[in-house]
Amino acid sequence: MEQAGEGDSVDNEERLMDRLSDYSIGNRFSQVNQRLSILDLLLTEIKYNILLVSKFWGVKEGVMVGLFVAGFFLGSWDLGVGEISSGGDYNRWGILGGEDSGFLHMKDLALILSLLSIICWVGFVVMLWNSYPIMRENMVYLLIGMVFIQFGHIKSHADNPSFPLDSGIGGWVWIVVSNLVMLFLSIFVVRRAVVETRDIHVQRKHFHPDPRVIDRAWKDHSLLAWSLGIAVWIIVLNISFWSSAHSIAPSPGDLDFSYSLVFLHIFSGIVATFLLLGIVWFPEFMLGSTEARIQTSRAREVSGEVFEPKKAEQGKCPVCNQNTNAIQETTGEIIIPCESGDCSGKGVTGSECEQCGIRIPSRVVCANCGSNTPVGGHFGRVEAW
């Protein structure tokens, strides 16, 4: 992984931090059932990502965390004010509605706290935009998805203040539609763009004649825990927006204000925004300045930034420079023919032949000069002339 904004080389970066492939994977779940081994992988990756956050988050991330935490508390604070718990004046609504604007008829202290909350949120979004440039487009998609989910919960509570109790299909339609929009933007747009950019990054920046090195690069650039973070973020986001809308939805005469719901809104909202910061930060940290921006393959084709994958390479004898029968695939695997009698099979060096089952050698005999050399030396050489 390459940390964003740093001018260090990959080798320097790897000396500064442990790699995911260096961590041993436990067997807590696989002991119960081998099919649960993916949970062991996930747990290891989560621990690794927590380590990265604790090691590489600094003052900048601390300021952003402080801004959105302050934004939640300032926007939800009602002790000594009573603006939220009283239900306000439901005959006045809107922000820029002139004399009838509900926002302008708030109590002075509530108005000040609201304005300070808005300033905190604007500052957080601006810092997020400036800090992670290659994730800007995807950050906008995530924020749009948040707006849709919040609107869905507001609309559902406007039709039925006790939502989800006593709600028909009409009340759930808004929640389902808004979450479908969020799933499309977060999974099929943002996640797909990050995954495809990661794939191109590994193929282009971490290609190596040794397939074990490439395999390690794929492990180091795993996005399993990051993808789970998106799913958890959407769930927690729904909890936060539901609790905020549910706490103030009834009319003033029917409002039984619950501070526990407000606390749930603040707590879940802080967790959701913390996850949002991690979702935006991690791809930037992983890819860093090596990528101009994160896009899907289709978007790259439209913009003319088509990535040409590395083609299969014909091996050359390191002694006489003549072509040999070794082929290195685009995946990094080296395929050579089986040397057992009349067998016409082939396979990856060190594996068993696909036809006769004889082990494929790791050395190649040149038909031109007769030299017997390691197959890895037949690739990746730079000509001297």
The mean predicted confidence, pLDDT, of the chain is 79
* Interval 243-269: pLDDT, tens: 988 888 776 666 677 788 889 999 999
Share of the chain above pLDDT 90, in %: 27
Give me the sign of the Cα torsion angle 195, 197, 200, 201: negative
Note the pLDDT tens digit of each residue in 319-342: 787 888 887 776 667 788 877 767
Cβ 12 vs Cβ 24: under 8 Å: no
Smallest CA-to-CA distance from 246 within 272, 233, 264 is with 264
- Cα(98)–Cα(92) distance, integer angstroms: 10
Which pLDDT belongs to residue 156? 87
Rg (CA), the chain: 28
Look at 143-147, 273-277, 316-320, 337-341 and tell me which has the smallest mean pLDDT: 337-341
Cβ pair 220, 201 in contact under 8 A: no
Q: Is the pLDDT of residue 241 over 90?
A: yes
Q: Could you read off the pLDDT of 23-44 as tens digits, one per residue? A: 777 777 777 777 878 888 888 8
Q: What is the pLDDT of residue 89?
A: 63
Is 1's pLDDT higher than 90?
no
C-alpha distance from residue 169 to each of 8, 166, 175, 243 (Å):
56, 10, 10, 20
Per-residue model confidence as pLDDT tens digits over 201-230 = 887 777 766 677 777 888 888 889 999 999
Residue 349 above 90 pLDDT? no
Quick: pLDDT tens for 174-207: 899 999 999 999 999 999 989 888 888 887 777 7
Q: Which of 49-58, 95-104, 163-172 has the highest mean pLDDT?
A: 49-58
Domain ranges of the chain: 10-56+132-302, 313-378
End-to-end CA separation in angstroms for the chain: 34
Beta-bridge partners for 346: 337
Q: If you ran DSSP here, which 8-state letter would residue 85 be given?
A: T
pTM of the prediction?
0.73
Which two structure tokens, joined as six digits, stand for 48? 């690794």
Tell me how far apart the 2 most distant CA atoms of the chain are, in Å: 96
pLDDT given for residue 86 in this prediction:
72
- Range from 96-105, 166-175, 345-354, 375-384 carrying the lowest mean pLDDT: 375-384
The whole-angstrom separation of Cα 253 and Cα 139 is 40
**Which pLDDT band holds residue 9 (cuts at 50, 70, 90)?**
very low
Count Cα atoms within 13 angstroms, Cβ side, for 250.
11
The pair of three-digit structure tokens given for residue 292, joined into one six-digit string: 């101009």
Give the model's confidence band at 362: pLDDT under 50 very low, under 70 low, under 90 confident, else very high.
confident
Assess contact for 326 and 334: CB atoms under 8 A.
Answer: yes
Nearest Cα neighbor of 233 from 126, 145, 117 is: 145
Pick the closest to residue 201 from 133, 284, 140 (CA basis).
Answer: 284
